[in-house]
Amino acid sequence: MNKFDRIVSFLEENYYSSHFENRDPFRTLISCFLSQCARDENMVRASAALFREAADPHSMLKLSQSKLEQLIPPTKCEKCELNRICKYLKQVI
């Protein structure tokens, strides 16, 4: 079992959400960021909207700050949180 699988297993055991079922590290990471500033049902809606628009780190980085804010309003993320997501996306690429 690799490190990612161990982390997902831990999350499933302690904080299960059906949103983690796809086991895509990118989507899991972004969903975790969004979950810090939203209830689960809002995080799931925001994540779905975001991933429909940008399915991978490259396409997500191409989105403007205002577009990100439009896509994830249910989470009420602060701009600093969106900046943090973009910072980590750049590190992933």
Tell me the per-residue pLDDT of 37-68, one tens digit each, with 9 for 90 and over: 777 778 888 888 889 999 888 999 898 888 88
Q: Quick one: pLDDT at residue 16?
A: 55
Instruction: Check whether 18 has a pLDDT greater than 60.
Output: no
- The CB-side HSE value for 34 (13 A sphere, CA atoms) comes to 28
DSSP 29: H
For residues 48, 50, 56, 59, the Cα torsion angle rounded to the nearest 10 degrees is 150
Q: What percent of the chain has pLDDT over 90?
A: 4
pTM of the entire predicted model: 0.66
> What's 4-23 look like in SS3?
HHHHHHHHHHHHCCHHHCCC
